[in-house]
Amino acid sequence: MRRLLRIFKITRVFARYRLDTLFEQLNLRWYARVLLMLMLWRYVIPVGGRSQGQRLRLALEELGPVFIKFGQMLSTRRDLLSDDLALELKKLQDQVPPFESAYSQQLIERALGAPVEEFFAEFNATPMASASVAQVHEALLYNGEEVVVKVIRPGIEKTIRKDMAVLYTIAQLVQALWVEGRRLKPVEVVADYENTIFDELDLRKEAANGSQIRRNFENSPILYVPEIYWDLTRQNVLVMERIHGIPVADVEQLKAQNTDMKKLAEQGVEIFFTQVFRDSFFHADMHPGNIFVSRENPSAPQYIAVDFGIVGSLSPEDQSYLARNFLAFFQRNYRQVAQLHIDSGWVPPDTNVQAFETAIRSVCEPIFEKPLKDISFGMVLMGLFQTARRFNMEVQPQLVLLQKTLLNIEGLGRQLYPELDLWETGQPFLERWMKERMGPKAVYRSMKQQAPDWLDKMPHLPQMAYDALNQLKSLDDSRRRDMLALSVARHELQQQRGYKWRWIGLICLVAAAGFSLDDPLFAARELPAISWLLGTAGVVLLLRH
């Protein structure tokens, strides 16, 4: 009943903001178009002066936190949405009123198993910030270190589960009603979102992600990650070092302290490429609210990152293909770009390489009309993915996260320093990475890493050879048994098919006899044609089977 009431509310919001207009341009199945025409509110409620994107954003905000976060995730899916919808969804604000301070303190004490006074010299019950999933309080440890305490909002899991069930229903409807629905996998998009949002409910995962990135950039002059206090961290409570930096979007304050903006922008690009290609573990939620700049040493600025609920990772194969795609693109080698998409499995193996190359060239060539400093890596990726979508490119979740992060980094970099040339910053890194990965040193390093394994296995080589021969013999015996079983199964199947056709032959003969008995002048030469036809078919089937 609660789910039905929730669906009723969603339908009411859908009608109020006339979201049916979003589907008019889609290639819907005929019954979906009929259903669209039967929505009576279309003829009563005016669209008004708002754009489609504005109406969708307002509808999601009215439906609550789960739908707001889902809209934020969709804003990064340029392979699913048009640019105007994606840009409007980026404006979604994940701001909700804080829950009661006393209740927040009770949750923290219940998680830690003792009053807050035992762990914190000071604890501010009034939250610093509040969002749909959690809120944050400032505190002071007895050793004098400042920390922040993040606590999960009570009852949020129940709300999420209820709304996720509705989102799955909507995704299934989209898949059934939209011709392209099955290829774009809306149910998998919702499942990916479900994994993300439930991961955010376990703050131990966020703490582990933060600890990993902190290790990767230990003593780094370009990125600082706050320390996690594991002894005070639980599933619904996270205690982390408090940082005092300038929000990266506050350009005026950064300029006021004479920050080297060019270096700051270039270091953001360097952090991205280091995380993606060196570590294969990148912070995938690098919007301005999660990035700060240290107040120390403005001439050599250092980033500070927080909130590690969403991270991404690439396989070695994806890393290699991505780096080679970037390099091939800037060399205008579109044939290689097309072939790399096929080799990586991002598009079907039977794709026409020449047609794919032509499509990529038609999208990419206009980009090179701009100066290199104005070319966006994120837009390059988006253009490639949109082109590949016409060639049945499968949705790649890890690449979607990467594209989202790259767009954030680029937007941030150009906001800090509009003249930023991402290619000049990124090309040497990519070329150096490819050389280290593919060159003679990489081969030597791989052999050196595997040498201990070879030495350990050498004394066991005779036994391993004996075992291998036994396995081959067993495999041979097993194959003979499988072939025999297959032969028997094939014979039984042929027999079953023979029985079926014999029955059909008998039915044909009976039917022929029935037609002939209807003839008052029962004589062979006067049998109707249908009787001859059925009789002949019956005899042939009986003789053949």
Query: How many whole angstroms separate alpha carbon 151 and alpha carbon 135?
Result: 6
Here the tokens at position 463 are: 């036994």
Contacts of 465 (CB under 8 A, 6+ apart): none
Residues present in the chain in total? 545
In the residue annotation, 285 being an active-site residue is answered as yes
Kindly provide the residue ranges of all beta strands, DSSP E only, lying in 486-530, ordered along the sequence: none
Q: Taking the CA atoms of 503, 506, 512 and 518 in sequence, report the sign of the dihedral they define.
A: negative
Is 151 assigned to a binding site? no
Is 131 assigned to a binding site? yes
Q: Which residue has the tokens 């040339």?
A: 421
Is 132 assigned to a binding site? yes
Is 13 assigned to a binding site? no
Query: How many whole angstroms separate alpha carbon 519 and alpha carbon 526?
Result: 8
Is 135 assigned to a binding site? yes
Query: How many whole angstroms separate alpha carbon 246 and alpha carbon 125?
Result: 24
CA distances from 331 to 60, 364, 410, 479 (A): 42, 11, 21, 51
Query: How many whole angstroms separate alpha carbon 200 and alpha carbon 70?
Result: 13
Contacts of 489 (CB under 8 A, 6+ apart): none
Closest-CA residue to 519 (of 528, 511, 510):
528
The DSSP element (H or E) to which 330 belongs, if any, is helix 316-330
Query: How many whole angstroms separate alpha carbon 38 and alpha carbon 35?
Result: 5
Alpha-carbon 451 to chain mean position: 37
Q: Which of 83, 84, 260, 285 is catalytic?
A: 285
Is 468 assigned to a binding site? no
Q: Taking the CA atoms of 387, 393, 397 and 399 in sequence, report the sign of the dihedral they define.
A: negative
Report residue 334: phi and psi, to 5°: -70, -30
Is 336 assigned to a binding site? no
Contacts of 407 (CB under 8 A, 6+ apart): 76, 376, 378, 382
Torsion from C-alpha of 171, 175, 181, 184, nearest 10 degrees: 50
Is 150 assigned to a binding site? yes
Query: How many whole angstroms separate alpha carbon 124 and alpha carbon 461?
Result: 66
State the catalytic residues. Answer: 285
Annotated binding residues for ATP, as ranges?
128-136, 150
Annotated binding residues, as ranges?
128-136, 150
